[in-house]
Chain A
Amino acid sequence: MLKRKIALGFAAALGASAALATIAEARDLTVVSWGGAYQEAQKKVYFEPFKKASGVAMNDESWDGGVGVLRAKVQGGAATWDVVQVESDELAVGCEEGLFEKLDYSKIGGEAAYIPPSVNPCGVGAILYDFVLGYDKDKLKEAPKGWADFFDTKKIPGKRALRQGPKTTLEIALMADGVPPKDVYHVLATDEGVERAFQKLDTIKGDLVWWKAGAQPPQLLASGEVAMTSVYNGRIDTANKNEKKNFGMVWDGALFTLDSWVILKGSPNKDAAYKFLDFVGKAENQSKLSENIAYGTSNKDAAGRLPPAVLKDLPTAPDNIKNAVEINVAFWLENIDRLTERFNKWAAK
């Protein structure tokens, strides 16, 4: 699905044709990430330095996510990718389906080097990021304080944008309805909780716009199409730095999740892949990433190397993570199909 960057179609087509051309011979290490400003930052602090330091020939591609894509790659045989950055649900399902190599942590600095949530048998954490409430400081007289304000069209008029689909949307609706962040999934696990979330969404249904790719929310804010939106925290930061925007965000009630690096099953470049993972797992390299784009990283010592000014804008900063919820992968694996159908039923009403 369109997740982070829509204009990847071209890149994918080019990449695919290039990949087809090289399929017959042994290929270079291929690393796949999310494109956009994020991959630019990765190129600068990970890919280029890694090529220089190790002498390994590698190229990078981008993708839009979806475990179905990985399944097709692996089951089709001759997968053209080696290392892929995946979201938490892709990690869980792909691991269950045997799409990824089991990681040997001794080759990438040992499990103890990483923060606990980022250690998984099939993948190692890459970044930690949030869905936050984003708004344009230049356009709003009064800054929103949390999701309750997001649903208050009297206090702050204008349209709002959320990510299309039930995931993140229902959690946000419940928090707006007064459910404390730590109880969100307990409530959502009941039928009454789901009902309550949809009832809350009903209150602003006419003012909701749905985004699908991560690049859209900053555009929606910049064009004044919406007053507030859910957005990846790094996108807000990038818009402020690179496009001189004056966007604000609310950390309270943010939803955070991890992305991980995996090695696709049967990769012919396993040794090079481990070298790469070892390189990007090192604290000194990870801290450079956080300086370029405001995402937290997985190495325990990475945050300690950062200046306080950078640290305060990261999802991993103590103040920012205090009232945040981790997106519950197990819950969504069980309920995504049912709630997607329910969400679309509601949207069509």
Chain B
Amino acid sequence: MTTTSLPGANAQAEVPLKRRLRRAERTRQVKALALVLPLLLFLLFTFAGPIAGMLWRAVEDWEVRQVLPQTTAALASWDGKDLPDEKAYAALASDILAARAAGTVPIAAKRLNYALNGFRTILTSTARNLKAVPEPGTAKETLGKINPAWRERATWTTIKDASGPITGFYLLAALDLTRNADGAIVAAPPDQAIYRDIFLRTFLISLGVTALCLILGFPVAYLLATLPPGRSNLLMIFVLLPFWTSLLVRTCAWIVLLQSKGVVNDSLHWLGIIDAPLRLIYNRFGVCVAMTHVLLPFMILPLYSSMKAISPAYMRAAASLGAPPLTAFLRIYLPQTLPGIGAGSLLVFILALGYYITPALVGGAADQMISYFIALYTTETANWGLASALGAVLLLATVLLALVYGKLVQGQQVTGGMKN
């Protein structure tokens, strides 16, 4: 009897135990969450929020909707094949009159001008010359008389494309693409197709600077990691001193050194090595030199910390087993520094991608990186849609790179290079 009732009793006792366990777990989780909540909120408001706002700006299309509401509504049913009907013209006339009274014409004009150069003039001159609501049935004629552009299909497709609420216009433009009058995605006209080249340029400069930093930084980090502490600390100060100096100061110092009557050219001239000054600045060379100098510590520090952790006994063991120095280095030492190389390279590369001041000061017109254009459209011409779209593309590329790096590092279990 008791034996048969036991399992049941056990089962009854077991449920509350499980539940109690779950409850205890939950309390722990809540406590942990409460501890990180301030940081989470901080990141949400100062980091995730603004980035989301930027991504939204890259696709948002509010100007034409807000300024020309009736036209937008009238064009919703238009098939885009012929000119729109009288109704759309009448809607546009009344929108323009209302917008002129409210002073909002330029807002729509600015947005439409991005898509069709000259639209600013079409809209502002129409607003200036349209004195009153046209008689019913004459709107088409009146607007066509004021500006012949209203008799063209492209004018109207531009308005329809910009009707919002969201648009791919800016993102397409950031990739040198555009929509033609029939709505198909085509390559942008060659005069305006510049962003792919600039992204490529940005990646190439960043890659070159990363490679230079690695070649220059690796021996220095090795020296730092193997010297006795006293001397290695002194060297470390030499690494950190430029690290603590303002970027602007270091960049300007390179201008003084590299200009055609600068220290480098004058010394070479005095030594009789060159007759005419070399062009070392306001070109790609100057950008790479200055950026490498600025970013070098970011490579050396991760390398140093990974090398510090490698015991010298490994190399001695390899030598005692008969490995020549080069083999020992390649098979034993180098694989153990890979995490440092990876971290340093990724850090330098991602920092270099966003560089702005240095290329702006020591580069030529053909060496400006993508951040220069993001800054230009943000502050100078206030084309925030395009600035956000360029930022979104850069962000996406950087995230992809970080993911690839993560995959590589995970697959790189440090086995000391030994075959399992």
Contacts and interface: CB of A to CB of B under 8 A. Distances in A.
Contact of B381 (A159, A212, A340, A344): A340
Interface in B369-398: 373, 375-384, 386
B114 A345 contact: no
B382 A93 contact: yes
A2 B366 CA distance: 17
Contacts of B380: 1, 65-68
Interface residues of A, number: 40
Interface in B185-235: 190-194, 197-198, 201
B40 to A, nearest CB: 24
Given A98-B103, A344-B198, A348-B197, A336 B365 contact: no
B194 A344 contact: yes
Interface string B352-374: 00000100110011101000010
Interface string A229-273: 000000000000000000000000000000000000000000000
B178 interface: no
Contact of B118 (A225, A334, A345, A349): A334
Contacts of B197: 348
Interface in B240-273: 248, 259-262
A119 to B, nearest CB: 19
A208 B364 CA distance: 9
A69 B364 contact: no
A345 B191 contact: yes
A223 B120 contact: no
Contacts, number: 102
Given A1-B375, A67-B382, A68-B380, A348 B259 contact: no
B382 A68 contact: yes
Contact of B192 (A164, A209, A342): A342
A40 interface: no
B118 A224 contact: no
Contacts of A149: none
A46 B189 CA distance: 50
Contact of A223 (B107, B259, B382): B259
Given A71-B382, A344-B365, A344-B368, A212 B191 contact: no
B51 to A, nearest CB: 16
A157 B94 CA distance: 60
Contact of B282 (A6, A65, A209): A209
B261 A68 contact: no
B360 to A, nearest CB: 6
B121 interface: yes
Contacts of B365: 164, 208, 210, 343-344, 347-348
A348 B194 contact: yes
A6 B248 contact: yes
B194 A341 contact: yes
B167 interface: no
A1 B372 CA distance: 8
Interface string A62-89: 0011111101000000000000000000
A235 B34 CA distance: 58
A336 B103 contact: no
A103 to B, nearest CB: 15
A97 interface: yes
Nearest to B364: A210
Interface of B: 103, 106-107, 110, 113-114, 117-118, 120-121, 190-194, 197-198, 201, 248, 259-262, 282, 357, 360-361, 364-366, 368, 373, 375-384, 386
Given A66-B378, A337-B114, A341-B194, 4 more contacts: A69-B379, A224-B261, A340-B376, A340-B381
Interface of A: 1-2, 6-7, 9, 64-69, 71, 93, 96-98, 159, 164, 208-210, 212, 223-225, 333-338, 340-345, 347-349
15 contacts: A1-B379, A9-B248, A67-B380, A210-B364, A223-B259, A333-B120, A334-B120, A336-B381, A337-B386, A338-B192, A342-B191, A345-B191, A347-B364, A347-B365, A348-B198
